Structure 1
Amino acid sequence: MTAQTGSDGPAAPEVSDRIGGRLLAMSLVLVLGTFMASLDSTIVNVGLPVLSVEFGASVTEVQWASTAYLLAVVAAAPTSGWLAERFGARRVWLAAVAVFLVGSLACALAWSTASLAAFRVLQGLGGGLLPPTGQALLARVAGKSRTGRIMSIVGVVPMLAPVLGPLAGGTLLEVADWPWLFLVNLPVGLVAMLLAAWLVPHVPAADRASRFDLRGAMLLSPGLAAVLFGLTDIGSAGRNTPIAVTALVAGAALLAAFLAHALRADRVPLVDPRLFRTPPLGAAVLALFVAAASVFGTMFLLPMYLQSGRGLSAWDAGLMLAPQGAGAVLGSLLVVKPLIDRVAPRTIVVTGFALIIAATVPLTQLAALSDGWLVAALLVRGLGTSMIASPVMTIVYTGVDPEWLPRASSVLSLVNYVGGAIGTAGLAVLLELRLTATGDVAASFSEAFWCVLGLCVLALAGALRLPKTAPSR
């Protein structure tokens, strides 16, 4: 097999079963971009009160800084597959980092809530392309024999972002002014670009890229953005219910129109819904969707409870949540990586959800839960979380042809973002209803965690449909 060369980077290496130092370094560079984009979706939330004072606006108005970013991310993610197919995943990834950094610099220079929201859109357009493009590029270079082990290292990153975001934001605001919430991205992104230009090989664009599905893009991206806006607004304290409902109805109509278009399209649609009917992709997507809803929902509930129910500062609440991130890292490196190629995906994922369920049960009794037991529950929950994303991504990435990897990756990113948004919004509405009805903080949060527990049980049932055979067989 002869390595191919390209004008925009080193040649793609010959694929072997061994994970060498160069592949590991490349994976860490690509995951650095993913981590930067994923972290930015949560790190700003800690700074909302500070930004409110800085711009003389209400927290609800400043909340648009987070909402605008998520809307742009969801709008950009569906196009990542076609862009990588047309221009090459490496070029798209580097361009996405550049756009993200320009947006970060602009955010740091914002002078009003409107300008900050506009610059966050630019930042989100780059951030929405980074995770799917980076993962597809990594899976393509690693090859099917090494994808599982590599994904066990990088797959935990999307789940770490909601854990580490509040802690990172609180740390920055302790030692620096609010612009550093965005400026911190610049050195990280520049280092990632320089290392990627050196380490990431050229993966050529498709020989015959499909025509861009313009009609599909005009239906899918605005539809997803409208649904996400409606869910976010309904879940916020200062929600405008008529506008939120209108956005949800409009978004649902656009998504229904996209579904009809995609099923009868005479060209490759932006996202092919028929993929979800292909075993085991449907079960894998369901597991990832519910895991995202559970993780993001939990990381929405716990910081609020620790600050309002137990009187902790934002910094102390972030420290209390850190064990979940530690559990995810330990589980990924010590459990998932050695087993992912030798044990059936169903076994790993079902075990992971069982651990998450066991660790969520104590959270339904928050009033009686000591700090020590809370830390232990979060550690176990992180361990279980690490056993979900990597096997699911391995199932998808090893089950599709290499040229379809960018499109499959865009689907997984969308599932993760939308699942997290739905979980957070649903729990926010339930929590506010219970707080209004009872006024009991601990009891209201505990009831919300019963819903999280129900989501995990549903996911466990769906995970039973995953493959029973180990990838090595």
Structure 2
Amino acid sequence: MSKEQVAPAEAGRQRIDAALWRVAFVLVLGTFMASVDATIVSVGIDTLAGEFGASVAGIQWVSTAYLLAVVTAVPASGWLADRYGARRVWLVAVGVFLLGSALCALAWSAPSLIVFRVVQGLGAGLLPATGQALLARIAGPDRTGRLISVVAVVPLLAPVLGPLAGGGLLAVASWPWLFLVNLPVGAVAVLLARRHVPVVPASPGRPAFDVQGALLLSPGLAVLVFGLTEVAHGRALTAGLGVAAGLLMLAGFAVHGLRTRRTPLVDPRLFARPPFGAAALALLMLGASVFGTMFLLPLYFQTGRGLSAWESGLLLAPQGLGAAVGTVLVNRTIDAVAPRTLVVTGIVLVLAGTVPFTQLGHGLPDAVTAAALALRGVGMAMTGAPVMNIVYSRIEPERVPRAAAALNLLNTVGGSLGTAALAVVVQSRLTARHQDVPAAFADTFWWVVALGVLAAAGATRLPRTRAVRRT
């Protein structure tokens, strides 16, 4: 395919040809970089603190700033794709991410590294949503489900691959390679995208940018996440102000989005349209459960059992294997089985794989840990892709970029809020349990189970039947 080529007219065919698989592979490279980078750097926090002479609390902003930048960028991805075309926005996002990566490797102090991580996070926040929107438009509704089932496995593998890659790099190279490793991957992604990814036309309406919404939504989300991270650090005043200000700004955005006559940055009315509302609730709760667990387990392995980052990554590997198995299963059944059946079954498997971790206080054999993580991996693969397919296959093509932005926003916010909230819970349980680490983490996993139950409740409202395909 040449770069001038417009999305194929024959997207309604069932067959996925080699050219379309190439497009999916190229676009997933962007998601891979953004997903793995969030975890690969977390392994090197102690190393970075020593390199720059910073406190652990201060150097944690290397991760927090990246997260806040991602949350800030995601809402704008839909408008940017509408205005300039998803392919162009995706290429620019990769460029911004690579620029941020190079600058991070050249950082001379902790503050400079934090600033450059913001640049990196802004690019990373645009990649998953624009990549999914582009893939959905190119593939067409008949093929989107099977492609998304493969693409969606990448974020599930990031918590496994990140610690392994980070630990391996730090064992043989200096800290700048935590960031330099992105450069060859990103360069290959850009070259392949210019050759193989077709152009999808921008929205003919060229909608105006929702300035008021942008001033409320992105900062509101960032302030809310910041407030919750401050709760985890025990700073009550800044935490309370952050949470209150964030909620007020988000409430203001909701009112603005419902009243404005222009196209809002993220349309609140989308959430009232079946099946988007149910899918949104399921993704929000599932994001909190999945990413919250991927925060808790490595922390427990390293603080409760004294394992290294590399050893923790190896112990998490069965989840990646389970996700791969789940991806194959979903790819073969996503167009034949009712969406609700797939998603509810997946959430039940995630719950079944989470319950054993509520028994950490009684000692959990490694074999049980591995089996539980594998089960979670299968279940996670059976939830995310079908939920996204439900929305992409039932929504008008011109609304796909906005829907992709909303879905990725929910997943990101769910993961961010879930991680921050569970950090608060585990800290309080450590105090209540007098620093009994296994018991404190076991208590916290009951909260993860509760989040999974809420996700299942949302999933029961998903459609019972397959989508009527749009042509």
Same fold (TM over 0.5): yes
Other-structure match for 1:469:
465
The 8 Å contact of residues 7 and 137 in structure 2, kept in 1 or not, is answered as: no
Verify: 1:357 aligned to 2:351, yes or no. yes
Q: Counterparts in 2 of 1:150-229, with a 5 A limit?
A: 150-229=147-226
Structure 1 residue 239: deviation in Å? 4.2
Structure 1 residue 470: deviation in Å? 2.4
Q: Which amino acid aligns with 1:412?
A: L
- The whole-number CA distance in structure 1 between the counterparts of 2:467 and 2:325 is 22
Cα RMSD of the aligned pairs, angstroms, is 1.4
Other-structure match for 1:433:
428
Distance 1:168 1:9, change over 3 A: farther
Other-structure match for 2:235:
240
Q: Counterparts in 2 of 1:367-378, with a 5 A limit?
A: 367-378=362-373
Compare 107-116 and 161-170 and name the one that shifted more: 161-170
The 8 Å contact of residues 10 and 201 in structure 1, kept in 2 or not, is answered as: yes
- The whole-number CA distance in structure 2 between the counterparts of 1:425 and 1:167 is 23
Compare 132-141 and 242-251 and name the one that shifted more: 242-251
- The whole-number CA distance in structure 2 between the counterparts of 1:350 and 1:12 is 33
Instruction: Determine which of 45, 48, 53 is the counterpart of 2:42.
Output: 45
Instruction: Encode CA deviations 1:328-361: one digit per residue, 9 max, x unaligned.
Output: 111112x100000000010001110111111111
Q: Counterparts in 2 of 1:101-120, with a 5 A limit?
A: 101-120=98-117
Instruction: Encode CA deviations 1:135-185: one digit per residue, 9 max, x unaligned.
Output: 000000000010111111101222322332222211211121111110000
Instruction: Determine which of 56, 59, 77 is the counterpart of 2:56.
Output: 59
The 8 Å contact of residues 75 and 265 in structure 2, kept in 1 or not, is answered as: yes
Verify: 1:315 aligned to 2:317, yes or no. no
Q: Counterparts in 2 of 1:322-333, with a 5 A limit?
A: 322-333=317-328
- The whole-number CA distance in structure 2 between the counterparts of 1:265 and 1:229 is 28
Misfit runs of 4+, over 4 Å? none
Other-structure match for 2:332:
338
Verify: 1:251 aligned to 2:239, yes or no. no
Structure 1 residue 472: deviation in Å? 6.8
User: What SS is found at the alignment partner of 2:185?
Assistant: helix
- The whole-number CA distance in structure 1 between the counterparts of 2:75 and 2:452 is 27
Instruction: Encode CA deviations 1:415-452: one digit per residue, 9 max, x unaligned.
Output: 11110111111111111111112121111110111111
User: What SS is found at the alignment partner of 1:310?
Assistant: coil
- The whole-number CA distance in structure 1 between the counterparts of 2:159 and 2:241 is 29
The 8 Å contact of residues 33 and 192 in structure 1, kept in 2 or not, is answered as: yes
Verify: 1:86 aligned to 2:79, yes or no. no
Instruction: Determine which of 6, 9, 17 is the counterpart of 1:11.
Output: 6
Other-structure match for 2:445:
449
Q: Which amino acid aligns with 1:214?
A: V
Query: Please, what TM-score do these two structures have when normalized by structure 2?
Result: 0.96
Other-structure match for 1:265:
260
Instruction: Encode CA deviations 1:66-93: one digit per residue, 9 max, x unaligned.
Output: 1111111111111111111111110000
Verify: 1:139 aligned to 2:136, yes or no. yes
Q: Which amino acid aligns with 1:351?
A: T
Compare 161-170 and 454-463 and name the one that shifted more: 161-170
- The whole-number CA distance in structure 1 between the counterparts of 2:218 and 2:301 is 36
- The whole-number CA distance in structure 2 between the counterparts of 1:310 and 1:119 is 34
The 8 Å contact of residues 129 and 405 in structure 2, kept in 1 or not, is answered as: yes
Instruction: Determine which of 452, 455, 461 is the counterpart of 1:459.
Output: 455
Aligned length: 465
The 8 Å contact of residues 155 and 393 in structure 1, kept in 2 or not, is answered as: no
Other-structure match for 1:280:
275
Other-structure match for 1:305:
300
Instruction: Encode CA deviations 1:271-308: one digit per residue, 9 max, x unaligned.
Output: 11111111111111111111111111111111111122
User: What SS is found at the alignment partner of 1:467?
Assistant: coil
The 8 Å contact of residues 342 and 472 in structure 1, kept in 2 or not, is answered as: no
User: What SS is found at the alignment partner of 2:5?
Assistant: coil
The 8 Å contact of residues 222 and 246 in structure 2, kept in 1 or not, is answered as: yes
Compare 276-285 and 93-102 and name the one that shifted more: 276-285
Question: Gaps spanning 5+ residues in structure 1: where?
Answer: none
Question: Gaps spanning 5+ residues in structure 2: where?
Answer: none
- The whole-number CA distance in structure 2 between the counterparts of 1:136 and 1:372 is 40
- The whole-number CA distance in structure 1 between the counterparts of 2:397 and 2:155 is 23
User: What SS is found at the alignment partner of 2:318?
Assistant: helix
Q: Which amino acid aligns with 1:353?
A: I
The 8 Å contact of residues 231 and 421 in structure 1, kept in 2 or not, is answered as: no
Q: Which amino acid aligns with 1:193?
A: V
Q: Which amino acid aligns with 1:338?
A: R
Other-structure match for 1:399:
394
Q: Which amino acid aligns with 1:394?
A: N
Structure 1 residue 12: deviation in Å? 2.5
Instruction: Encode CA deviations 1:23-56: one digit per residue, 9 max, x unaligned.
Output: 0111011011011112212221111000000000
Compare 301-310 and 183-192 and name the one that shifted more: 301-310
Instruction: Encode CA deviations 1:201-256: one digit per residue, 9 max, x unaligned.
Output: 01111111111111111111111111111122222xx4422112211111111111
Q: Counterparts in 2 of 1:414-425, with a 5 A limit?
A: 414-425=409-420
Q: Which amino acid aligns with 2:37?
A: D
- The whole-number CA distance in structure 2 between the counterparts of 1:226 and 1:426 is 14
Q: Which amino acid aligns with 2:162?
A: G
Q: Which amino acid aligns with 2:346?
A: G
Compare 430-439 and 103-112 and name the one that shifted more: 430-439
The 8 Å contact of residues 225 and 420 in structure 2, kept in 1 or not, is answered as: no
- The whole-number CA distance in structure 2 between the counterparts of 1:160 and 1:416 is 16
Other-structure match for 2:32:
35
